[in-house]
Amino acid sequence: MHPPEKQIATSVLVIGTGGAGLRAAIELAERGCDVLAVGKRPKADAHTSLAAGGINAALATMDSEDSWQQHAADTLKESYLLANPQTVRIVAEGAARGIEDLQRWGMPFAREQDGRISQRFFGAHTYRRTAYAGDYTGLEIQRTLINRAAQLDVPILDTVYITRILVRDNAVFGAYGFSLADGNRYVIHADAVILAAGGHTRIWRRTSSRRDENTGDSFRLAVQAGCRIRDAELVQFHPSGLIAPENAAGTLVSEAARGEGGILRNQVGERFMSRYDPERMELSTRDRIALAAYTEIKEGRGTPDGGVWLDVSHLPRETIMTRLPRVYQTLLELQMLDITKDPIEIAPTAHYSMGGVWVRPDDHGTGVDGLYAIGEAASGLHGANRLGGNSLIELLVFGRIVGQAAAEYSAGLDAQHRSAEALDAARAEVDELLAADGPENVRSLQRALRDIMTEYAGVVRDESGLGKGLAELTAVEARITDVGVHPDRAGFHDLAHAFDLKSAALAARATIETALERRETRGCHNRSDYPELDPALQVNLVWSGPGSVEREAIPPIPGEVAALMREVSTVGKLVE
């Protein structure tokens, strides 16, 4: 006898209630399609709400010369030619529409005195094209989408953990999961499933993701369903994450702090960027600043706690209070530190999964019929370095497109073919973990895994380190089969952590195996044993399970966009 299960049927199931998932759900509801959105954490607290910088679209409100073609060119150039040109075109061309949608739903964008949406420089953009709301743009976008979803009566199941996507004969028919509160099981039948469950940056020790989010759930759910993972090794490390306090390690210090004139120094007081990028200094790109800080720390010139100093105390107090209010407030709350007087201790921090589930550029289909992936769960837009502000616009553009594609797919189905075997396997997986009473502790294995990724697959990698990492990972994978899971009155979080751990192990393996294969240095991927860029590796690496990495050719860049690709000056601009 299996435990009671709540049966739900819907036309389209959305897994994940961040910006991407909500935008897709809104599109479905507006088209009159039956939709259900499910998230493992409360929707108001999705990771999207942490995005500070802004959202990109070539609106040309500030610089009339800007165009979607130039936005596409900047994105492709910054991707180190690993982004898919078609994906890039769709996002750049659809960006203005994405901003219009948000405006229509009440998003409070910063505006110029004449009412135009204000735009600022952000990273390697040729023109000002980043729209924003203070330094809490993501939070306002998430609020706007939640309000719109509520107006449309979109049903949202918070705190339900999806453990498996249900598939029969390479076609999706729903998903299986449980409630984090009481452990009740859910069988959700759906014609189509949209996977919007984020990335895998929580598998590093220092990360801007919070506990229990971005643990690689998208990777595991997709691979189990028969999908592949592309560019797993391409992970963006943000240059400035806090080191202390321990429970807030990885909290980001906005790059606005450098954009406004912040200075980076090592333990001996040297302004070390002069060694790495004397032209741009602190206004260099994310990948370069992270590498510089990492190198200083690794070579023994870091602080005793393994960081470097970011100093804004020489700036006028007024500048700090008006331009960096969130940074000021955060440091006061977390460390009792007054940044108008003292420097901030920071270190490179795992920040964004530029790779993700393999999807087609046009409709983000995964190759499994009826299964789509969007947002940080998907791949194709960012290549080896993401332009700041591009991730938020990607959510809106592909949320809309995939909502439409899923609605049409559902409407065109003759019948939904289900499989009792697939359902039994999903049920058994949860039953087995609940019955697990082994000696291994889930949290300590998660920590072991994060230590492995930080030590061997962090900012700088090499063959021997990655090989060691793989051996240690194999040992951890063996221990995962001996975990003990103990739900209690507070809920079934222990069971969720065990699934998070499975996801993290799979994502770690995909990352290390593809990092071994990419024997070059390109963008965020630094191989100290292969310091040069290798033109033969201008390909995407596609992982379909342990030991299986294939090279995928990238389509050519169209002439109108290629003509606009050039080195972009960063003088007076905010780095990404």
For residue 155, say if its preceding peptide bond is cis, omega within 30 degrees of 0.
no
Alpha carbons 342 and 335: distance in angstroms, whole number: 11
C-alpha closest to that of 363 among 194, 164, 497? 194
- Which of 238, 364, 522, 525 is an active site residue? 238
Cβ-proximal residues to 400 (8 Å cutoff; 6+ apart), any chain? 23, 24, 27, 94, 97, 98, 101
Contact call for residues 37 and 157 (beta carbons, < 8 A): yes
Q: Which residues of 303-315 are buried (b: 16+ CB within 10 A; e: fewer)?
A: beeebbbbbbeeb
Ramachandran angles phi, psi of 154, nearest 5°: -70, 120
C-alpha closest to that of 489 among 183, 177, 163? 183
- Which of 258, 323, 461, 522 is an active site residue? 258
Q: Is 362 exposed, middle or buried (CB count within 10 Å of its CB: 0-12, 13-18, 19+)?
A: exposed
Pairing mode of beta strands 356-357, 229-230: antiparallel
Asked about 314 being catalytic, the answer comes back as: no
Question: What angle, rounded to 10 degrees, do the helices at 390-411 and 137-151 form?
Answer: 20
Question: What angle, rounded to 10 degrees, do the helices at 19-30 and 137-151 form?
Answer: 30
Q: Which helix (DSSP H) or strand (DSSP E) does residue 27 occupy?
A: helix 19-30
Q: What's the N-to-C CA distance of the chain in angstroms?
A: 55
Write out the E strands in 21-159: 35-38, 55-56, 130-131, 156-157
Q: Left if phi > 0, otherwise alpha if psi is -120 to 50, otherwise beta: which for 120?
A: beta
549-552 sheet: strands from edge to edge = 356-357, 229-230, 540-543, 549-552
Asked about 238 being catalytic, the answer comes back as: yes
Alpha carbons 237 and 523: distance in angstroms, whole number: 11
DSSP state of 483: B
Alpha carbons 211 and 539: distance in angstroms, whole number: 33
Pairing mode of beta strands 549-552, 156-157: unpaired
State the catalytic residues.
Answer: 238, 258
